[in-house]
Structure 1
Amino acid sequence: MVIDLAVLDFTTPHRTLRVRSLHPGVTAEAVREATGFPLDIADDLPYTREPTPPSCG
């Protein structure tokens, strides 16, 4: 699931909500504060890949 701050999923052993990647400029703390419920957040999260412009062709 993609939200304004990060990409999230439920693919953990206990099916808890996990942050897969942070959008550029967003901190893990900002995601924690915005959700209001427990999240599985790794220490070494990657940033979400930014979109590329569409190709004309």
Structure 2
Amino acid sequence: MTELGLLDELTLWIHPVVVGQGKRLFPEGSSAAAWTLATTTAFSSGAVVFDHRKSDRL
């Protein structure tokens, strides 16, 4: 959906768990400029929520 430009908001929950390796969330070469960080929320468990909005900068 991100590759097709169908999202205008993206929320990522990051949990502090070390697994050693895994799959990439976004493909190699994806543009970080397509998203602007809007808000963050941190929890006492160590989890953090990042809310991103589609950016006008491309």
What's the TM-score bracket when you normalise by the shorter of the two chains?
under 0.3
TM-score normalised to structure 2 length: 0.20
Higher helix proportion: 1
The higher relative CO (CA closer than 8 Å, separation ≥ 6) is in 2
